[in-house]
């Protein structure tokens, strides 16, 4: 594991964007797995700037989002598709046919999961997966207890995760109860992983995930076993970390 501790959120965003940009320079038809949430917005902003300045070209890049809520219209302001459109897809030269996100409205979610997993395989697998971490240690929407062998699947969201989103949705009862998420195995199969964390509220879970025992109760702890993991954190989130 490579641990990079930076001063603040701004530097975290810039360093993360540089790592993604370098990956694309080295392999223009890179396959990326991409996160949502507050943590990566600065990274997307920096990537958009790199694109506008002509430093990076997304025309051959293939993207797969890590997850999406179920039972939500795709144009719902809180859908991950809306988030991506606002922060990234709508601002760079990704080809629409190269952008993938699980469908949020499907009659047969199981079939959608299998289709998504198959699309990742067809694209040649993920080169770089960028991840955030939930307060309970989840990665994508793999909540505590998720099997290490999981592929893309329907996840029941924990009450803790739903409570975190309650304000954004205007009430807990409006937060979806399910999502489609890449599984732990799908993520672990990525050739490289970049885990991002910012802020004091992530400090404790991050230390558990990186220094604690590998346990399904802290899904991000499995990342300790990945052969090519970079962890980028700001000082606040790194408070309980020791060098590795
Ligand atoms: C959601 C997403 C995760 C993300 C997590 C943390 O649950 N499914 O992929 O890592 O939130 O989000 P934030 O960066 O806002 O703390």
Kind plus residue range of the DSSP H or E element containing 164: helix 159-169
Residue pLDDT tens, the chain, 244 long = 999 999 999 999 999 999 999 999 999 999 999 999 999 999 999 999 999 999 999 999 999 999 999 999 878 999 999 999 999 999 999 999 999 999 999 999 999 999 999 999 999 999 999 999 999 999 999 999 999 999 999 999 999 999 999 999 999 999 999 999 999 999 999 999 999 999 999 999 999 999 999 999 999 999 999 999 999 999 999 999 987 6
Indicate the pTM of the whole model.
0.97
pLDDT in tens, 55-66: 999 999 999 999
Contacts of 70-74 with CB under 8 Å at 24 or more apart are 70/104, 70/105, 70/106, 70/109, 70/154, 70/176, 70/178, 70/179, 70/180, 71/104, 71/105, 71/176, 71/177, 71/178, 72/104, 72/105, 72/176, 73/104, 73/105, 74/103, 74/104, 74/105
Kindly list the protein residues whose Cβ atom lies closer than 6 A to any atom of ligand 1: 35-39, 66-67, 132-134, 140-141, 161
161 CA to centre of ligand 1 in angstroms: 9
Count of Cβ atoms closer than 10 Å to residue 95 Cβ: 12
Best residue among 13, 37, 84, 169 to mutate for probing ligand 1's pocket (most ligand atoms within 8 Å of CB) is 37
pLDDT in tens, 113-142: 999 999 999 999 999 999 999 999 999 999
């Amino acid at each position: 594991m490579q641990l990079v501790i930076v001063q603040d959120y701004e530097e975290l965003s810039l360093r993360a964007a540089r790592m993604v940009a370098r990956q694309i320079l080295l392999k223009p038809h890179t396959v990326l797995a991409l996160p949502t949430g507050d943590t990566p917005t600065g990274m997307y902003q920096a990537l958009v700037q790199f694109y506008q300045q002509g430093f990076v070209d997304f025309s051959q890049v293939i993207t797969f989002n890590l997850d999406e809520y179920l039972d939500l219209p795709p144009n719902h302001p809180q859908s991950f598709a809306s988030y991506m459109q606002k922060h990234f897809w709508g601002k760079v030269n990704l080809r629409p046919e190269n952008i993938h996100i699980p469908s949020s409205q499907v009659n047969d979610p199981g079939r959608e999961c299998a289709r998504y997993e198959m699309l990742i395989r067809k694209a040649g697998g993920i080169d770089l997966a960028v991840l955030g971490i939930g307060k309970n240690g989840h990665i994508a929407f793999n909540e505590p207890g998720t099997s290490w062998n999981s592929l893309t699947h329907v996840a029941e969201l924990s009450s803790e995760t739903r409570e975190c989103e309650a304000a954004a949705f205007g009430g807990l009862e409006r937060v979806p109860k399910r999502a489609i998420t890449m599984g732990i195995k799908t993520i672990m199969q990525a050739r490289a992983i970049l885990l991002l964390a910012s802020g004091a509220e992530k400090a404790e879970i991050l230390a558990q995930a990186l220094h604690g025992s590998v346990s399904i109760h802290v899904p991000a702890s499995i990342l300790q076993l990945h052969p090519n993991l970079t962890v980028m954190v700001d000082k606040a989130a790194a408070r309980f970390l020791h060098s590795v």
